[in-house]
Amino acid sequence: MKSSVITFPGSNCDRDMDVALKKFGFKNKMVWHNDVEIPKSDLVVLPGGFSYGDYLRCGSMASKSKIMSSVINFAKSGGLVMGICNGFQILVETGLVPGVLLRNKYLEFICKNVFVKINNKKNTYFKNINKDVVEFHIAHNEGNYFCTKDQLTEIEDNQQIAINYCNKDGKIENQFNPNGSIKNIAGIFNKEKNVLGMMPHPERMIDTSLSGEDGSIFFKNLINNLK
Amino acid sequence: MIVNEQIAIEHGLKKDEYIKICELLKRTPNITELGIFSAMWNEHCSYKSSRLHLKKLPTKGKQVIQGPGENAGVVDIGDNDAIVFKIESHNHPSFIEPYQGAATGVGGIMRDVFTMGARPIANLNSIHFGSPQHKKTKNLLRGVVHGIGGYGNCIGVPTIAGQTNFDSSYNGNILVNAMTLGLVKKDKIFYSKAAGLNKPVIYVGSKTGRDGIHGASMASASFDEKIEEKKPTVQVGDPFTEKLLLEACLELMAGDSIIAIQDMGAAGLTSSSIEMASKGNLGIEINLNKVPCRETKMTPYEIMLSESQERMLIVLESGKEEHAKKIFDKWNLDFAVIGKTTKSKKIELYFDNEKVANIPVNTLVENSPMYDRKWKKSKLPKKNKFKKEDLKNLKIIDVLKKILSNPNVCSKEWIWQQYDHTVMGDTIQKPGGDSGVVRVHGTNKAVAASVDSSAVYCWAHPLTGGKQVVCESFRNLISVGAKPVAITNCLNFGSPENEENMGEFVECVQGIGEASEYLKFPVVSGNVSFYNQTKDEGIKPTPSIGGVGLIKDYHNMITMDFKENDNIVLVIGKTEGHIDQSLFARNILDEKNGPPPEINLFNEKNNGETLLKLIDNGFIKSAHDVSVGGIITAISKMCIKGNKGINLKKPKYLISEIEYYFAEDQGRYIIEISKNDLKKVTDILNKNAVHFDELGTINKNELYINDKTKVTIDELKTSNKDWLINYMSK
């Protein structure tokens, strides 16, 4: 399976994603934001970081960079595009997934492990995954997902909510919401479920010596689904 | 403007220093030249009051590749890998403007590290604030934490450990010390020594603006009521540009184009160009019209003294300009050939076709003032006044809860959760342990780092305090299973012109030197920050020690959380019941007199090395050093972290339970071992003449003392966790 990770100026989880993808069997290529074409890929990843220093709005400038028109076309033709953290912010700015990401409710950067409940397994990302609740890691300042009432109805009707913040037993309650996201939303799909944007970093959970191993489960499952 | 003595004094120079400048130049300097002298000769850049004493520190060792004098120290960790590291203060700017002050402190120290060719792999910090009740403390804390996070998070370097203390002596002068570790191949280390004639001098990075002019001079003066006026001397950071600069520099460093490289830190273009020329015994000629400027009509004086951030000066191999420019263009950074190296041994500046400065380099560096300041030997500590009977009425659990919720002991999770501590995917011990630990990417090795200070001990007896901080650092590394390699120090003191403050400095440095010599734990980099005072009141003497250690196989790393029920808990090292200057004495008994606990370097080394042996043999399930708050505080933290309880039994001693549990005797560690290993472990301890006491066995979730008193771990956890969260949310 082939993957591409886009590096924008200010990306800083690009290497971590590269390490994770390779660990689970992807042939990964790093792609520079100023390139025009993405190489042939089964998966394109927009990594975390602070593309363009978060200037203007998080993800806004990166969403207009050269490579993105190629990424958008790839997504529209059904290719898998996953945006993590800042990558999610970029996806929102391109309009590939609905909604916006506001500053965290308590106005502070948060770096910690969280539990998320998988809300929809009928897609390439989570199909066959043997857990309903996984422990991921978040590290962000603007992860407070927000959308209009109409959008929310549409998202729910189309089962576009990918994951919600919850406790270890899968309870989705306000007290387990780290950033104030509407409905505890941690990740969201486009209508077709080939584009996934999420705040948590599965690439930081791929090793028992690190924060945990639920990221490994996610990546192993993903590559199996692609085979 | 014609320069005279008055103008020189306004630049922070002393009258005799101005006279010396005129003598050295054999003429009156012009204003640009005076600016350059004032920047190079201030305390921050010249170390004029400290040099004499710093020379006494041990700086050599088997693993030391580069000691003090470069942008950062470098140590060998085997397999052609080396760690570059340094700690630096940004105290004054952080008090004036906490967010930017702290942010640029982090930015500056990271530049020092990647200037040497190393990719930063970990950040740490030591921050000290005034009393929590002081009106400025909360906002300063919030601003500093946001600033540190804002910069480090954006660059994508994990903040893996740190320390936060409160004491009223910092009410008017907080401390912000930032430390960075970088990883480099031993044969790809870059230095700041220029070489070769007519080599192009390159400016890269951000444009130069008017921010930060005289920042270094500001850092060399005391605070007074006009402090707010100094806001413009605080630099403004842009971590995004620094991230680009980091990647661009490392890309250029992969080739062989660079002869020398130096970041523009304190005193900007002035100190960077002069340092490179001085080390290479060369001259440098610069055309200031070529320096990329952010603002119009900047004068030579302003260009030379600006402390705009995220800039580097490089001496390139001739003919490599185009190659280098391509890289900086790719990263959207300014690139300009602004001058060349010369044989004149002078710094020669041109602006609008006129020579605006012409100064022999040696007058700025070798001939800079060096003072043997007068200092007073510190007085012997006064005797404590508390009576042993007073202790009898105290209930251990009540005292323990108070200590666990003390601002200097409580959990700092509210702070470190705001720092990205997991980016780069190699953080295997997060903040909140004895040391932060990161893996050396792609290998089985890991590097541990910790930063410590003990201002109270240093204040009570500077010599002992100085020794203690080094030992504490040594212990924090050993507690995670790392072999201590070297230290960096950030020496925060009051005015060197005050004989008592200077005495504190001299004696602390002596203590640091003695301990690091004995423990073979050399000082490879550091920084001195004097004038930490408001009007006449100095801070408590606060040397911060950043320690670095090596774990050969990261699978053998130790953490402090208790692991398994029925395991046995021992304390290594002897408990004499030293209460003076303990957190218990100062906060529960309100007793500020008495000497700090004594340091016995033999025991310190022997206990530590023996523990490392036990770790190597796989006997240690968890470990934690005993520091402020004594044995029971250390044990409580291990219980809280591991969600386990313990049945404690005080060993037979003449001292009371309270003294036993809260004393702060040095050289001690708590260890957890399995029952089956008890004999083997105690044999090793006995064989190495290491004193130990058996403390108890681990249980599910309660702390029992002598089967009588008990408290649940949840209660202790609440005491420990809530203080800071409540304080910040009020």
Q: What local confidence, expressed as pLDDT, does residue B223 receive? A: 66
Cα–Cα distance, B638 to B479 (Å, whole number): 12
How many other β-carbons are positioned within 10 Å of the β-carbon of residue B44? 25
Q: What local confidence, expressed as pLDDT, does residue B218 receive? A: 59
Asked if the model's pLDDT at residue B231 lies above 70, the reply is no
Of A9, A16, A112, the CB nearest to B417: A112
Q: Can you name the residues that pair with B709 across neighbouring β-strands?
A: B705
As annotated, the active-site residues of B are 44, 90
Nearest to B13 by CA among B33, B469, B707: B33
Q: What local confidence, expressed as pLDDT, does residue B495 receive? A: 94
Asked if the model's pLDDT at residue B477 lies above 70, the reply is yes
pLDDT digits (tens, 9 = 90+) for A179-221: 999 999 999 999 999 999 999 999 999 998 887 889 999 999 9
Nearest to B247 by CA among B370, B333, B362, B340: B333
pLDDT digits (tens, 9 = 90+) for A133-153: 999 999 999 999 999 999 999
pLDDT digits (tens, 9 = 90+) for B570-604: 999 999 999 999 999 999 999 999 999 999 999 99
Length of chain B: 730
Mutate which: A109, A208, A210, A219, vs B, most B CBs within 10 A: A109
Number of domains making up chain A: 1
Q: What local confidence, expressed as pLDDT, does residue B537 receive? A: 81
Q: Give the helix/strand (H/E) hosting B647.
A: strand B645-648
Per the CB < 8 A criterion, the answer to whether B466 and B490 are in contact is no
Mean pLDDT of chain B, nearest integer: 95
Which amino acid is it at A21? L
- With CA atoms as reference, the chain A residue closest to B442 would be A19
Measured between CB atoms, does B153 come within 8 Å of chain A? Answer: yes
Min Cα distance B423 → chain A (Å) is: 7
Q: Give the helix/strand (H/E) hosting B176.
A: strand B175-185
Instruction: Name chain A contacts of B149, Cβ cutoff 8 Å.
Output: 109
pLDDT digits (tens, 9 = 90+) for B480-497: 999 999 999 999 999 999
Provide mean pLDDT across the span B242-250: 97
B534 against A54, higher pLDDT: A54
- With CA atoms as reference, the chain B residue closest to A20 would be B425
B166-175, B263-272, B422-431: least confident range = B263-272
* Token reading at B85: 């590291």
* Token reading at B172: 């008017």
Cβ contacts from A onto B, under 8 A? 85
Per the CB < 8 A criterion, the answer to whether A179 and A164 are in contact is no
Instruction: Name chain B contacts of A10, Cβ cutoff 8 Å.
Output: 154, 240, 243-244
Q: Name residues whose C-beta falls within 8 Å of residue B379's C-beta, 6 or more positions apart in sequence.
A: none
- Helices B15-25 and B31-41 sit at what angle, rounded to 10 degrees? 120
Asked if the model's pLDDT at residue B313 lies above 70, the reply is yes
pLDDT digits (tens, 9 = 90+) for B370-394: 999 999 998 888 888 888 888 888 9
Provide mean pLDDT across the span B281-289: 97
* Token reading at A176: 């387990």
Please state the pTM of the whole predicted model. Answer: 0.96
Provide mean pLDDT across the span B321-333: 96
Expressed as residue numbers, the domain containing A47 is 2-226
Asked if the model's pLDDT at residue B228 lies above 80, the reply is no
| Percent of chain B surpassing pLDDT 90 | 90
- With CA atoms as reference, the chain A residue closest to B446 would be A209
Among residues 10-49 of chain A, which lie with CB inside 8 Å of chain B? 10, 12-13, 15-16, 19-20, 48-49
pLDDT digits (tens, 9 = 90+) for B170-215: 999 999 999 999 999 999 999 999 999 999 999 999 999 988 787 6
Q: What local confidence, expressed as pLDDT, does residue B226 receive? A: 66
How many other β-carbons are positioned within 10 Å of the β-carbon of residue B145? 27
Nearest to B113 by CA among B70, B79, B161, B145: B70
Q: Can you name the residues that pair with B526 across neighbouring β-strands?
A: B489
Residue ranges of E strands in B243-333: 258-263, 283-287, 311-316
Cα–Cα distance, A28 to A21 (Å, whole number): 7
Min Cα distance A20 → chain B (Å) is: 9
Q: What local confidence, expressed as pLDDT, does residue B387 receive? A: 83
Measured between CB atoms, does B17 come within 8 Å of chain A? Answer: no
Q: What local confidence, expressed as pLDDT, does residue A111 receive? A: 97
Instruction: Name chain B contacts of A55, Cβ cutoff 8 Å.
Output: 240
Q: What local confidence, expressed as pLDDT, does residue B215 receive? A: 65
Beta strands B334-342 and B283-287: pairing type?
Answer: antiparallel
- With CA atoms as reference, the chain A residue closest to B237 would be A53
As annotated, the active-site residues of A are 85, 201, 203
Q: What is the CA radius of gyration of chain A?
A: 16
Query: Is B240–A20 a contact, with Cβ atoms under 8 angstroms apart?
Result: no
How many other β-carbons are positioned within 10 Å of the β-carbon of residue B371? 16
Q: What local confidence, expressed as pLDDT, does residue A191 receive? A: 97
Instruction: Name chain A contacts of B244, Cβ cutoff 8 Å.
Output: 9-10
A80-84, B180-184, B605-609, B655-659: least confident range = B655-659
Per the CB < 8 A criterion, the answer to whether A4 and A42 are in contact is no
Query: Is A108–B418 a contact, with Cβ atoms under 8 angstroms apart?
Result: yes
Measured between CB atoms, does B423 come within 8 Å of chain A? Answer: yes
Q: What is the DSSP letter of A34?
A: T
Cα–Cα distance, B584 to B391 (Å, whole number): 11
Per the CB < 8 A criterion, the answer to whether B55 and B186 are in contact is no
Which amino acid is it at A93? E
Min Cα distance B419 → chain A (Å) is: 6
Measured between CB atoms, does A200 come within 8 Å of chain B? Answer: no
Q: What is the DSSP letter of B167?
A: -
CATH of residue A119's domain is: 3.40.50.880
Measured between CB atoms, does B144 come within 8 Å of chain A? Answer: no
**C-alpha B709: how far from chain center:** 41
Of B417, B419, B423, the CB nearest to A13: B423
Of A111, A206, A209, the CB nearest to B554: A209
Mean pLDDT of chain A, nearest integer: 96
Instruction: Name chain B contacts of A211, Cβ cutoff 8 Å.
Output: 422
Measured between CB atoms, does B123 come within 8 Å of chain A? Answer: no
Cα–Cα distance, B172 to B129 (Å, whole number): 9
Measured between CB atoms, does A6 come within 8 Å of chain B? Answer: no
Cα–Cα distance, B142 to B407 (Å, whole number): 15
Length of chain A: 227
Which amino acid is it at B89? S
Q: Name residues whose C-beta falls within 8 Å of residue B80's C-beta, 6 or more positions apart in sequence.
A: B185, B186, B187
Query: Is B153–A141 a contact, with Cβ atoms under 8 angstroms apart?
Result: yes
Mutate which: A209, A213, A214, A219, vs B, most B CBs within 10 A: A209
Q: Name residues whose C-beta falls within 8 Å of residue A207's C-beta, 6 or more positions apart in sequence.
A: A213, A216, B425
Measured between CB atoms, does A52 come within 8 Å of chain B? Answer: yes
- With CA atoms as reference, the chain B residue closest to A204 would be B425
